[in-house]
Amino acid sequence: MSPKILIAGPLIFWFHSYDALYENRASVHIGKGSQDDTNDAKIWLEPEIEVARTGRVLRQRELRQALKIIEENQAYLLEQWNDFKGKGS
Given a contact cutoff of 8 angstroms between Cβ atoms, the answer to whether 4 and 12 are in contact is yes
The domain locations on the chain are 4-85
**In this predicted model, what pLDDT tens digit does every residue of 11-64 receive, in sequence order?**
999 999 899 889 989 999 999 988 887 889 999 999 999 999 999 999 999 999
Q: What is the pTM of this model?
A: 0.91
Q: How many CB atoms lie within 10 A of CB 27?
A: 19
Separation of alpha carbons 22 and 75, rounded Å: 22
Please report how many Cα atoms fall inside a 13 Å half-sphere around the Cα of residue 31, on the Cβ side: 15
Q: What integer is the mean pLDDT of 1-9? A: 87
